[in-house]
Chain A
Amino acid sequence: MNNLKKYLFLSIISLAIISCEDDSIPVANNVTLAFNNTFGNTTIVLGDATSTEATQNTSSENQVHHFSEAKYIISNIRLINKDGIEFPYNVNNLDTGATIIDQSNPSTLQYVLNGIPSTEYTQIKFGLGVKAALNTLDQELFPAFYSADKKLHWFWATGYRFTKIEGFYGETNTPLSVHTGSVLGGDKTDETTWSSEAAHARNAYRDITLDLTTNAKVGENAPKINIKADFNKVLSGTNKITLNAATEGYVSGSAPSHHTSPETMVQFVDNMGGNGDTDITGMFSIESVEN
């Protein structure tokens, strides 16, 4: 709260200064986040099992695969200006500060941040998924986000699925399915209990930090930040994952292929969202900033 106050105070001061300079510059403007979901440099085309249109990708372990669905939640968005001041964007409100990126729906690929204070931004931070304190499927608090896509409800955990990927791999187009989300672990009101190794595995939320390749100059301009999400990393990121056929009886350590086995969920999560320590970008990178 103190931080919030500090930021608010500072932002008001900097706004005041900026607006004093020239009355014609608006105090705030929009920033658009545009997501490009790719395999490497190729934008993903989705397709069913036998699709000839779908973008094929080959993993580092030589498994050819393609997707029929790719969705993920972006929330807790913060922009950092050149003075290092962080501007949180409705970070505690999923209705106004979170969005679902759905590759099958082009209108979801751009998310417009309204009323961003005029200044020059150098960095963006956002969460892949929903932070623990808000991850409760609370329809009363956030009715719009709750109803946005019920396929992203993880009913039994009463939380959200943070990523949902469906697709096919191998010569026979075996179904693959990667669902990630946080499960019970730690005290949701106390983030410090989410730091142990076990808690890291159970908390699938990841904070992403990206340096902007060009400063985003908000004011007269309403910049567009083009963000790439490279889904090649799902199987071929920090962790090299081989999809295996499901094993009868689920012998310990087996990884059923067509649904992510939970004991390996953290590997997928870290590939996509980084490990929060040595990797804070995961599959995301800045393609360009259009001022």
Chain B
Amino acid sequence: MKKLLLTFCILWMISSCTEEKVDAPFIFDNPEIAINIPADFPEVNDSFFTNKPTKYGVELGKKLFFDKKLSRDNTVSCATCHIQENAFADQNPKGIGIDGKIGFRNTPPIQNLAFMQVYNWDGNKTALENQVLVPIITPEEMDSSILEVIGKISNDATYIELFHKTFGDDTITGERIFNSIAQFEYTLISANSKYDKVKRKEGAIFTDNEAQGYQVFKNKCANCHSTELFTDQSFRNIGFPVNPNSEEKGRTRVSLNAKDLMSFRVPTLRNIAYTAPYGSFGQFATLKEVLDYLDKGVIESDNLDPILKDNNNRIPLTEKEKENLISFMKTLSDLEFITE
């Protein structure tokens, strides 16, 4: 039976050859790529399982991530604000988009996002795929629209080939763009800092300062900056100076709950040395400024985090402790992540 079929197929191919040119048959082969999940990292986001990184999906997502065509006037790409050497954040207090327009908040780094359950400062998105459209349409970021983007890339042979290889046909849709960029972002995993190498006993050891800083960290910071991501992903008001933009409500914008006013997601400390300035609108230029502020005392409010309330609205730190803490935080820098 199989032979018969094969003969038929061959005959058909030969006969059709006389009439038209036959392209090499397209074989859809877009394997999932292996993602090394670092030991002790938290659970991955559910969305990851429905959009697992594939060989060509990641390649396509990366190309889109660096493509300025995603903006109205072709001047801004994702990578404009998410710069690899800054752990895919940037060095501006607030994001700077099209026409030099200044955004609302500090650009968050893009790292270990597969392990996050909530995204952005206020957790307005819970799936990475749903976040991609936001900068594309926001007037202070790319000020474009998904049909505009599709229109611009749909005549590009490289894109057509990549969509074909990724999805099995040439169709370019918003969903495919969102999924492939998310796939690329899922692959951005940082877990090769000195801290990791010490933990994994790969020969690295902390200096005295770093070791003492680690002790201070465990005593005074690890309640919030917990897990191997150095964030418990909770929303807290820690009494930082308030963004003068009256739109700023913190987590309340999403939860509509007054108890969340000026609460923000605890930021990760991984690669923190690369992501200055700090705070939701970049209100601190250096890590030292952040620690000085926490030591001196924060803004009182009804919903100030209980940990601060119970400690007279401050985290007392000696100058030596601050110095050691900063040394420790620098062991969270992952040089491979920002260069490779």
Which residues does A use to contact B, with CB under 8 Å? 137-140, 143, 146, 153, 155-158, 183-184, 198, 201-202, 246, 249-253, 256, 258-259, 261-263, 265-266
The A-contacting residues of B in range 50-88, CB under 8 angstroms, are none
With contacts A258-B246, A262-B249 taken as known, whether A252 is within 8 angstroms of B301 at the C-beta atoms is: yes
| A155 in contact with B256 (CB, 8 Å) | no
Q: Write the nearest CB–CB distance from B181 to chain A, whole angstroms.
A: 15
CB <8 Å contact, A140 and B256: no
- B residues 92-138 near A (Cβ < 8 Å) are 124-126, 130, 133-134, 137-138
Of B145, B242, B259, the residue contacting A250 (CB under 8 A) is: B242
Contact: A253 with B256, CB < 8 Å? no
Question: Looking across the interface, which residue of chain B has its beta carbon closest to that of A147?
Answer: B145
**Can you pick out 18 interface pairs between chain A and chain B where the beta carbons lie within 8 Å of each other?**
A137-B133, A139-B147, A139-B174, A153-B137, A156-B134, A184-B124, A184-B125, A184-B254, A198-B255, A198-B256, A202-B255, A250-B261, A252-B301, A256-B246, A261-B252, A262-B256, A263-B252, A263-B261
Cβ B246 vs Cβ A246 within 8 A: yes
Interface residue tally of chain B, by bracket? 20 to 34
Contacts of B257 in A (CB 8 A): 198, 263
- Minimum CB–CB distance from A6 to chain B (whole Å) comes to 32
Query: For residue B254, which residues in chain A have a CB less than 8 angstroms away from its CB?
Result: 183-184
Verify A158–B256 contact, CB threshold 8 A. Answer: no
Q: Once bound together, how far apart are the Cα atoms of A158 and B147, in whole Å?
A: 15
- Residue contact A262 to B253, C-beta cutoff 8 Å: yes
Minimum CB–CB distance from A255 to chain B (whole Å) comes to: 9
What B residues does A261 contact at CB under 8 A? Answer: 249, 252
Interface 1/0s, chain B 5-24, versus A by CB < 8 A? Answer: 00000000000000000000
Residues of B within 8 A of A (CB): 124-126, 130, 133-134, 137-139, 145-147, 150, 173-174, 242, 246-247, 249, 252-259, 261-262, 299, 301-303
In the complex, are the beta carbons of A252 and B137 less than 8 A apart? no
- In the bound assembly, the distance between CA atoms of A172 and B253 in angstroms comes to 28
Contacts of B252 in A (CB 8 A): 261-263
User: Cβ of B242: which chain A residues have Cβ within 8 Å of it?
Assistant: 249-250
The 8 closest A-B pairs by CB, nearest first: A252-B302, A263-B258, A155-B138, A201-B256, A252-B303, A262-B256, A139-B147, A139-B146
Query: Whole-angstrom distance between the alpha carbons of A258 and B246 in the complex?
Result: 9
- Residues of B close to A263: CB separation below 8 A: 252, 256-258, 261
Chain B contacts of A157 at CB under 8 A?
124
B140's nearest neighbour on chain A, judged by CB, is A155
Contact B256 A249 (CB under 8 A): no
Q: Which residues of B contact A201 (CB under 8 A)?
A: 256
CB contacts (< 8 Å) of B124 on chain A: these are 156-157, 183-184
- Of B130, B139, B301, which contacts A158 at CB under 8 A? B130
CA A147 to CA B323, docked complex, whole Å: 54
Contacts of B303 in A (CB 8 A): 252
Separation of A84 and B291 alpha carbons in the complex (Å): 67
Closest chain A residue, CB of each to CB of B251:
A262
| A132 vs B129: C-alpha distance when bound (angstroms) | 18
Are B147 and A143 neighbours in the complex by a CB distance under 8 Å?
Answer: yes
How far is B251's CA from A250's CA once the two chains are assembled, in angstroms?
13
CA distance A250 to B124 in the complex (A): 20
Chain B residues in 8 Å Cβ range of A266: 256
Nearest B residue to A266, CB-CB:
B256
B249 to A, closest residue via Cβ: A262
Q: Which of B137, B146, B147, B253 contacts A155 (CB 8 A)?
A: B137
**Within 8 Å CB of B173, what residues of A?**
140
Contact B134 A140 (CB under 8 A): no
B contact residues around A256 at 8 Å (CB): 246
**Bound Cα distance A202, B173 (Å):** 29
Q: Are A183 and B137 in contact, with the CB atoms below 8 A?
A: no
Contact A251 to B301, CB < 8 A, known contacts A140-B147, A202-B256 = yes
Report B102 CB to chain A, min CB distance, Å. 15
Residues of B within 8 Å of A138, CB to CB, are 174
Q: Which residue of chain B is the closest to A201 with respect to CB atoms? A: B256
Q: Min CB distance, B69 to chain A, in Å?
A: 16
Contacts of B255 in A (CB 8 A): 198, 202
**Using Cβ atoms and an 8 Å threshold, which residues of chain B touch A153?**
137
Chain A proximity of B34: nearest CB distance (Å): 31
Of all chain A residues, which has the CB nearest B239? Answer: A249
* Structural contact, A252 and B261, CB atoms closer than 8 A: yes
Closest A residue to B257 by beta carbon equals A263
Chain B residues whose CB sits within 8 angstroms of the CB of A246 once the complex forms: 246
Query: Is B146 a contact of A140 with CB atoms below 8 Å?
Result: yes
- Return the contact of B134 from the options A155, A183, A184 (Cβ within 8 A): A155
